[in-house]
Amino acid sequence: MKISFPYMGTSPLVVSYLFENLGHEVVCPPVPTEKTLSLGVQYAPEFACIPFKIVLGTYLEVLEMGAEVLITSGGCGPCRAGFYGELHRRILRDLGYPVEMIIMEPPLREPLDFLRKVYRLLKPAKLSNLYHVFRVAVEKMLSLDEIESTMHKLRPLAYNKKLITKAYSEGLEMIRQADSVKEVKEAKQATLEALWRVPANHEYEPLRVGLIGEIYVVLEPAANHDIERILGDMGVYVHRSIFLSEWVRYNVLGSGEKHIRASAIPYLNQMIGGHGQNSVGEVVRYAEKGFDGVIQLAPFTCIPEIVAKSILPAISRDKDIPVLTLFLDEQTGQAGIETRLEAFVDLIKQKRRKREAS
Ligand code: SF4
């Protein structure tokens, strides 16, 4: 069976490697483009959030490329993400694609069902190979996160930002080709060295901005208009609140998020689905770490992020940290995003000057 999956950030490099080496034929999803989004918009309910639409567009593209089985994550808690796999399946079926969807719910929710699906995905694999494949996949994921976070640190300092982009793209390709833990580590090292070799002003102290919000729009540049690059090119250091490996740790292994939720409790003491409670907790944490500002990325109609947004002004006032919310949907234009980012960066720059002068 030919399998495929949604495209999100750097995850296709890891997921493709994993499934291919477990013995599956993989249709690797292409980078989402405007065509992907407009395909999704055409067939999705109007009220659906942008991750739903981009993922639907990706499904339509990979089905045209020959995919027969789609693998996706489920969801729990009061967010409609939990229904999206099934909704996608019905839309695709009505469009004439009788595709099979394997929806991976959090393992502790229905352990038996989870194990049955895992067994199915592992079935073609050679047992002797399993440990190696998983070790390499994990190493790739951790390396990609380290490379990305290093790129975020160095981009605002670099004199020629294009050299950072080039070193990063070449690094991704090296990680993609690596086929053992040793090769992945070497590829990571070579990429980090290439990034550090880019001429930069290491004395410069950039403004520091935390990036929070719904996971898909935070991780996927096609959904957020490449906001990390735009800010980095403006000379701003962006600290992303979540990386792929953390998402896997929190959602698959169910560990590690408690400290973020604990920070949210004075303002929001219950789970509201998606990353809503995390968004609240992360603003508190960025304020405590002395960041200059926070940007919340929220898909239009995303209830968890709308609830979080209604609370953020109180945190912003109490902790004296500016917060900008950007709602994203298919109508959002690049120029509008850039203008709002420029205004926000001006605001936090002035705030820092005032603080330094006092
Ligand atoms: S968290 Fe928001 S954007 Fe993500 S699936 Fe739920 S409603 Fe949609």
Give the contacts of 302 (CB within 8 A, at least 6 positions apart): 49, 214, 274
In the numeric block, the tokens 């993922």 are attached to: 55
Render pLDDT for 116-147 as a digit per residue (tens, 0 to 9).
998 889 888 888 889 999 999 999 999 999 99
Q: Is 17 exposed, middle or buried (0-12, 13-18, 19+ CB in 10 A)?
A: buried
pLDDT of 313 over the 80 cut: yes
Q: pLDDT band for position 291 (50/70/90)?
A: very high
Q: Where are the domains of the chain?
A: 2-125, 139-204, 205-358
Tell me how far the alpha carbon of residue 187 is from its chain's centroid: 22
Give the model's pLDDT for residue 255.
61
Ligand 1 pocket, residue 49 CB under 6 Å: yes
List the alpha helices (DSSP H) in the chain. Answer: 11-21, 34-43, 50-64, 81-94, 111-122, 127-154, 161-177, 181-197, 215-219, 221-224, 227-233, 244-251, 258-264, 276-288, 303-319, 334-357
CA of 81 to the centre of ligand 1 (A): 6
Establish whether domains 2-125 and 205-358 are of one fold.
yes
| CA nearest neighbour of 6 among 45, 42, 46, 50 | 50
Give the separation between CA 120 and CA 118, rounded to whole angstroms.
Answer: 5
Minimum-distance ligand 1 atom for the alpha carbon of 216: 4
Minimum-distance ligand 1 atom for the alpha carbon of 303: 7
Give the model's pLDDT for residue 107.
79
Phi and psi of 136, rounded to 5°?
-65, -40
Give the Å distances, CA to CA, from 355 to 136, 237, 319, 342, 349. 47, 19, 14, 20, 10
- 205-358 CATH pick, 3.40.50.1360, 3.40.50.10490, 2.60.40.10, 3.40.50.11900: 3.40.50.11900
Give the contacts of 116 (CB within 8 A, at least 6 positions apart): none
Q: What is the mean pLDDT of residues 270-276?
A: 86
Q: What integer best gives the mean pLDDT of the chain?
A: 93
Complete DSSP assignment for 25-65 = EE-PPPPP-HHHHHHHHHHS-TTS-HHHHHHHHHHHHHHHT
CA of 220 to the centre of ligand 1 (A): 14
Render pLDDT for 232-270 as a digit per residue (tens, 0 to 9).
999 999 999 999 998 888 766 666 678 888 999 999 998
Tell me which of 246 and 290 has the higher pLDDT. 290
Q: pLDDT band for position 79 (50/70/90)?
A: confident
Helix (H, G, I), strand (E, B) or coil at 242: coil
Q: pLDDT band for position 80 (50/70/90)?
A: confident
Give the contacts of 128 (CB within 8 A, at least 6 positions apart): none
Give the model's pLDDT for residue 253.
65
pLDDT of 294 over the 90 cut: yes
Give the model's pLDDT for residue 76.
65
CA of 178 to the centre of ligand 1 (A): 34
72 conformational bin, left if phi > 0, alpha if psi -120 to 50, beta if neither: beta
| CA nearest neighbour of 275 among 248, 302, 239 | 302
pLDDT of 92 over the 80 cut: yes
Q: What is the mean pLDDT of residues 300-323?
A: 96
Longest dimension (CA), the chain: 66
Render pLDDT for 318-330 as a digit per residue (tens, 0 to 9).
999 999 999 999 9
Render pLDDT for 13-38 as a digit per residue (tens, 0 to 9).
999 999 999 999 999 999 999 999 99
Minimum-distance ligand 1 atom for the alpha carbon of 79: 6
Helix (H, G, I), strand (E, B) or coil at 227: helix
Give the model's pLDDT for residue 204.
96
Give the model's pLDDT for residue 109.
76
| Run of H or E residues at 103 | strand 100-104
Give the separation between CA 98 and CA 91, rounded to whole angstroms.
Answer: 10
Ligand 1 pocket, residue 220 CB under 6 Å: no
CATH of domain 2-125: 3.40.50
CA of 211 to the centre of ligand 1 (A): 17
Ligand 1 pocket, residue 303 CB under 6 Å: yes
Ligand 1 pocket, residue 299 CB under 6 Å: yes
| CA nearest neighbour of 144 among 99, 178, 112 | 178
> Is this prediction's pTM over 0.85?
yes
Give the model's pLDDT for residue 254.
62
Q: Which residue has a Cα nearest atom 2 of ligand 1? A: 302
